[in-house]
Structure 1
Amino acid sequence: MKMKNLLMVVGAAATFGAVSIITTQVHADTSVPVYRLYNKNTGEHFYTKNSAERANLNRVGWRDEGLGWNSATSGKAVYRVYNPNARGGDHYYTLSKYEAQSLVSKGWRWDNGGKAAFYSGGSTNLYVAYNPNAQSGSHNYTTNTYEQNSLLNVGWKYGAVAWKTMGTPAATVAPKKVDINVTGVGGSEQSVPGSYRFLYSNKAFDNKNLSTPAAIEFSADVSLSGGSSDYENQFVIAGNSGTTSGQIGVELHYQAGNDSNFAQGRINVTTINFPAGAGTSGQQFYSVKTNAPRIANSQSVRLQVKYFTSGYMQTFVNGTLVGQYKSKLVPGGNAYILHDYTNAKSTIKNIQVKKNGKIVNPVTQGSSPLTSQTFTNKTLVAAY
């Protein structure tokens, strides 16, 4: 049952906060395409109507994501400014020339020679969302309500209409799976199309009213500390009927460094979801929630994992929901709780198991009740 984890989340100090949005009513008869590109090294999306600029960025490693929207050729000007002090650089777009000038006075630079990058006009909303944990790519612009709501669900802020556009083709706004075909080195899944294992995701919660008691629930007070550059523990409910029985849980992880895109330099929180029967091509993922609490070294936190017979799972840290996703668990008898520690010392206390809302303690390690124990570089399997 041991699982290997690689972990990344987009996050850093924000360069700019909430912005003032001006609503415009503009009639525009013509439009030009605005292209959208993505820099995987900084997390920034870039938007341009200049096809030569698009081609050049694509050549130097930006990922071309096609048409972002159709922009009016006249109307209220949208300005683009550039922050050279952000890691990797960062662009910001605004209807307010005053706001753009204020940023320039603080060290930002006019982009596009201070002229309009686009124009606001048309009847289609273009939304902006703000990531308070990101330095580069801290603002995202989209006409896709699915994308906008997904970002807001994982901790992005603001969520207002930035300006108006002439629309976007239906094929561009169709919902897509999260992080499809994005896998990393470390497992057999890395070359399997559609595999979700070993990826780094801010997957939006699955919507479901889960007010009824969970079929099974594990909770405990857990702390994590270590002296190496990379250490972790995992608090998981796992089936015991083989590798296809499923595992769900929550993890604490630390990686040294100062690269915020990898959540380095702090203990971060991850939801683990390996549904039963998913295999290497199923939706197995580690989801790093941007709104999860940050954990200090040696800090004890209450970890809680729930599984519902309706086929959903939930994870909590100190009572804060950090994951809710569709899943499938096949216990194959008594379920087990798996603690996997790598290069770390961790203490577990006050472990509790509930079935259908009722406590079923004691939890045992072998034949002995498990109440409190400290582990270093080992795996604990506890039964109830």
Structure 2
Amino acid sequence: MKLTITALAALFMLQVWCLPTPEPRPELETRQSCDNLNLVPLLRAYSSKQTDHFYTTDVQEMQHAIAKDSYRSEGNEALVLFDPVPGSVALYRLWSKTFTDHFYTTSESERDAAIATGKYDFEGITAWVFPTQVCGSVPLYRLVNAPIEDHFYTTNDAERKNVIANNGYVDEGVAGYVYLTP
């Protein structure tokens, strides 16, 4: 009887060792990283004087823009990642003094090309977002109004459609995926 149990145990161990190793699944790693995210508000403001939309996660920076740079707060646009997590990408911020335009992109090549024109300066990383929809995230739409040189970002599809229909903005797709504010 001992021999039979030992032989069965050895056979079982042989089968376990011979099982193929599961392939890594990045979408599961990203999904797992969505628990306990360090989310912060993405604050939105607009300056009619500069015809510029401004977004930041820094409350003091927003207060300064309102007090000193003629911006008016438009509230919290979304919740974004304060720190990078697996699967997230940087949301880069650029500023054009020439156009008085803040421009945000997740594309390094687009960032670099805008800087290379000499019309935009790199101001750093505003936040971290997902390049694809995960964990209940929603699109952060990117639009531009070329005649007034203003980039506009919103999570509200009705607002996106309205500024396209009534304010001269053109849809440039999705800048990244973020979370709605409660």
TM-score (structure 2 length as normaliser): 0.70
Tell me what 1:151 maps to: 163
Tell me what 1:220 maps to: none
Tell me what 2:174 maps to: 161
**Contact 1:152 1:159 survives alignment (8 Å):** no
What is the CA distance between 1:157 and its match in structure 2? 1.4
Tell me how far apart the structure 2 counterparts of residues 145 and 117 of structure 1 sit (CA, whole Å).
22
What is the CA distance between 1:63 and its match in structure 2? 0.6
Of the candidates 26, 29, 40, which is equivalent to residue 32 of structure 1?
A: 40
Higher strand proportion? 1
Higher helix proportion? 2
Tell me what 2:143 maps to: 129
Of the candidates 44, 48, 59, which is equivalent to residue 52 of structure 2?
A: 44
Of the candidates 82, 85, 92, which is equivalent to residue 95 of structure 2?
A: 82
Query: 1:63 aligned to 2:72?
Result: yes
Tell me how far apart the structure 1 counterparts of residues 181 and 141 of structure 2 sit (CA, whole Å).
13
Query: 1:100 aligned to 2:114?
Result: no
**Match for 1:96: what amino acid?**
S
What is the CA distance between 1:90 and its match in structure 2? 1.2
**Match for 1:93: what amino acid?**
Y
**Contact 2:41 2:181 survives alignment (8 Å):** no
Tell me how far apart the structure 1 counterparts of residues 173 and 113 of structure 2 sit (CA, whole Å).
21
Counterparts in 2 of 1:171-210, with a 5 A limit?
A: none
**Match for 2:94: what amino acid?**
V
Tell me what 1:141 maps to: 153
**Match for 2:71: what amino acid?**
W
Residue identity (%) = 27
Tell me how far apart the structure 2 counterparts of residues 40 and 134 of structure 1 sit (CA, whole Å).
11
Q: Report Cα offsets for 1:217-241 as digits up to 9, x if no partner.
A: xxxxxxxxxxxxxxxxxxxxxxxxx
Q: Report Cα offsets for 1:251-288 as digits up to 9, x if no partner.
A: xxxxxxxxxxxxxxxxxxxxxxxxxxxxxxxxxxxxxx
Tell me what 2:129 maps to: 120
Number of corresponding residues: 138
Tell me how far apart the structure 2 counterparts of residues 72 and 141 of structure 1 sit (CA, whole Å).
16
Root mean square deviation of aligned Cα: 1.7
Structure showing greater relative contact order (alpha-carbon pairs closer than 8 Å, 6 or more residues apart): 2
Unaligned runs of 5+ in 2: 1-26
**Contact 1:72 1:166 survives alignment (8 Å):** no
What is the CA distance between 1:158 and its match in structure 2? 2.3
Unaligned runs of 5+ in 1: 1-24, 170-384
